[in-house]
Structure 1
Amino acid sequence: MKKILLVCAAGMSTSMLVKRMQDHATSIGLEVDIEALSISDAKDKVDTVDIVMLGPQVRYQKPEVEEIVNGRIPVLIIDMKDYGAMNGKAVLDTALSAIQ
């Protein structure tokens, strides 16, 4: 099972995106574990996931997260258009492409 961590300022807006991603995964018969956390909470979780995806509002923290994961997993910024539209399919597809 792939584990995806979404990170935003407070973990709230990204929770809606998590739901849409999970709904899409279910519709295609894919088991994934997707979680949304604030940047401070995410630091303790990065060792247990396959990818970290940053919300556009915290993209400036990408270097910090990349330093924490030390090249072990991909760190991506969620496309602003997909994030704004809460396009769970597109974000899930991006995550899966990056971790395969």
Structure 2
Amino acid sequence: MKKIVLVCAAGMSTSLLVSRMKKHAEVMKEDVEIIALPVSEAGSVASEADVILLGPQVRYQKSQVESIAGDIPVEVIDMRSYGTMNGEAVLETALQLIK
């Protein structure tokens, strides 16, 4: 199972995006766990994640999250995909980063 972690300011603004990503994962028959949490909690799950995606509103903390994540890919979610809650596009990006 692949673990995708979405990080935002408070962990709530990404909940809709997470549900849309999960729906697309079901269609793709991908075995994934997707969670959202505030950037302040990123360190608590970083070692268990396969990829960490940051909401555009916390992009300025990318280097901080990268230092916690080590070799785990960290990327900022495309602003358009985030704004339109395009779970399909964000999931595809996450899966590409894992490979």
Partner of 1:38: 38
Partner of 1:82: 81
TM-score by length of 1: 0.96
TM-superposed deviation, 1:32? 0.4
C-alpha distance in 2, partners of 1:31/1:2? 6
Identify unmatched segments of 5+ residues in structure 1: none
Moved over 3 A (4+): none
TM-superposed deviation, 1:29? 1.2
1:3 aligned onto 2:3: yes
Indicate the percent of aligned positions where both proteins have the same amino acid: 58
Root-mean-square deviation over aligned CA pairs? 0.6
> Between Structure 1 and Structure 2, how many residues are aligned?
99
TM-superposed deviation, 1:3? 0.3
Identify unmatched segments of 5+ residues in structure 2: none
TM-superposed deviation, 1:42? 1.6
Secondary structure at the counterpart of residue 89 of structure 2: helix
